[in-house]
Each structure stands twice: as C-alpha cells, then as structure tokens.
Amino acid sequence: MLILKAARALAEKGMAVFPCLPRDKRPATPHGVKDATTDPIEIENWWQQEPNFNIAIATGAVSGVFVIDIDGGDAEAELRKLEARHGELPATVESITARGRHLFFKCPDTPVRNSAGKIATGIDVRATGGYVIAPPSVHPSGKRYCWSVDSATTFAAAPDWLLAIIAEPETATAAAASEWRELARNGVREGQRNSSAARLAGHLLRHYIDPHVAHELVQSWNATRCTPPLSPDEITHIVDSVAGRELKRRSAA
C-alpha cells in the first residue's frame, strides 16, 4: 500500500490526485485529470481496486501549483543558459523522473497554460488542465519516481523572468478597459512586473501599434509605474519576444 499512502499524503496537502495505469502515464479513470480529487474515500476506492496504480497530480488552480518538466541533459543545459542570463530559479519542491526532474511552483495570480518547448527545447509546462506523475509511481522504463532530498520542502513562487516567458499576452477582449486603466495608473510591484509588461506589449501590438512606439510606451510605463523598475534591457527583451510571437500569429492568420 505504498502508493496509496503517498496518494493520501498528497491529498492531505491539498494536491488533487487521480490514478494512472500501472507503470504508465495514461489515466485509469474515465475522465482522467477531470476526476482528480482530494477526497480520501475516493482515493481509497481507486487504490483498493489496483494497488499498483500510478499517482497523477492535477496541476493548476485545483492543486495550487504548476510544474516545469525538464526532460534530459539537453534541457538542463538550456535551463542553465536561461539562469545565467536571468538568475537562478529559487529552491522549490522537486521530484526526480526517469529522464529529468519536475519543479513545482506556486500558481501565480495570472493564468499559466500548458506548453511544450515554450521555455526551451525539452522544457515543458504543466498547469491548468494538465498533470504530472508523482512519486513513488513507476515509469514505463521501470524506474521509480522519487522526491529530491536536496530540494526545498515548500513550493516557491516562480521568478518574474520565468512567468514572462510562459505568460500569454491577453487580447483586448480578454481584459476589460478598466483593468488596463488600473495597470496604467497604478502599475505593479515586484512579482508581477515581467508578466504585466508582456501583457501590455501584447495589448499594444495586437492593436497594430508600431513596434518601436510600443517599445517606448512600455519602457516609459516601466520607468514610472513599476516598483522597482526592470532594467531597460529586460523590457527590450520582453517586447522583442512578444513582437516575435505576434508576427508569427499574423503570418498564420
């Protein structure tokens, strides 16, 4: 009953879980991640049926966490490059997978979506609507997932630079005009600067504001409304990144 005990413990900590097939990542319930729960009776029933079911944690708001999935040595090298540029990721809860590791972060105020390779090649995001296999489940290769003994014991908040990469710029219909006025008037504090700058840049570019004008507007907003302001180079990087995504969107339209 090792896995059942672990499933109960995760649920007690607020993690919504559901079973996957033994030594597999495929759900063992009819609706998969939608069946995730913290209900101890439901969890008991599942693992009484099959003690070797793997454990899946539903990511996103239902569990209060999102996960960075680092898959292999090449992905680790890509992450080191990002950390060299932006700063190291904070220590957080971490599990060891068959080929890499899962880093668990608190869900931010802004929505985070599932993505593959958006951060870098081999680095995926599991958030709302997604899930990850949790220790002590067994990978299809036969290797058992385990919690890292060298990691933190609490979920860290993701740094601004990471949220800026994975955040989706909102369209005009996704944010009320009053929200944009609030952002322009009052600005934001540390923890929301990068994602807010990305949203503002996306809003301007989606309205076909000239990229050079959009860049200057976001720089001015950053200098006067962010506490403390980001560096001008960081704002340039954010606007360039959002502009690249907007160009791709227009080309595909």
CA dist 245 and 211 (Å) reads: 12
Question: Could you tell me where the DSSP H helices lie in 111-169?
Answer: 160-166
Q: For residue 138, give both structure tokens.
A: 């067994």
Q: State whether 157 and 58 are in the same domain.
A: yes
Q: CATH code at 68?
A: 3.30.2250
Are 36 and 160 in a shared domain?
yes
Residues 6 or more apart whose Cβ sits within 8 Å of residue 26: 20
pLDDT in tens, 16-73: 999 999 999 999 999 999 999 999 999 999 999 999 999 999 999 999 999 999 998 8
pLDDT the model gives residue 169:
53
Please tell me the distance from the alpha carbon of residue 4 to that of residue 177, in angstroms, as a whole number. 49
Coil, strand or helix at 102: strand
Q: Are residues 153 and 190 in the same domain?
A: no
Query: Is 52 in the same domain as 142?
Result: yes
* Number of structural domains found in the chain: 2
Same domain flag for 124 and 159: yes
Residues 174 and 161 in one domain: no
Query: Which residues are CB-contacts of 7 (< 8 A; sequence separation ≥ 6)?
Result: 17, 19, 43, 46, 47, 55
Within the chain, residue ranges assigned H as helices are: 2-12, 40-49, 73-86, 160-166, 177-186, 193-206, 211-225, 232-252
pLDDT (tens digit per residue) in 146-198: 999 888 899 999 998 999 888 755 444 444 566 777 788 888 888 788 888 88
Q: Which of 208-212, 220-224, 226-230 has the lowest mean pLDDT?
A: 208-212
Cα distance between residue 219 and residue 202, in whole Å: 14
Same domain? 107 vs 87: yes
Contacts of 91 (CB under 8 A, 6+ apart): 151, 152, 156
Q: 106, 135, 165: which is the final residue of a domain?
A: 165
Residues 68 and 130 in one domain: yes
In a shared domain, residues 125 and 193: no
- Whether this prediction's pTM lies above 0.85 is answered by no
Last residue of a domain, one of 148, 165, 182: 165
**101 and 218 together in one domain:** no
% of residues, the chain, pLDDT over 70: 94
Listed range (88-102, 192-206, 210-224) with the worst mean pLDDT: 192-206
Are 125 and 194 in a shared domain? no
Q: What is the three-class DSSP state of 118? A: strand
Residue 88 has a pLDDT of: 93
Q: pLDDT band at residue 251, thresholds of 50, 70 and 90?
A: low
User: Residue 128 is part of which domain span?
Assistant: 2-165
Say whether both 79 and 176 belong to one domain: no
Please identify, among 165, 197, 215, the residue that sits at the C-terminal boundary of a domain. Answer: 165
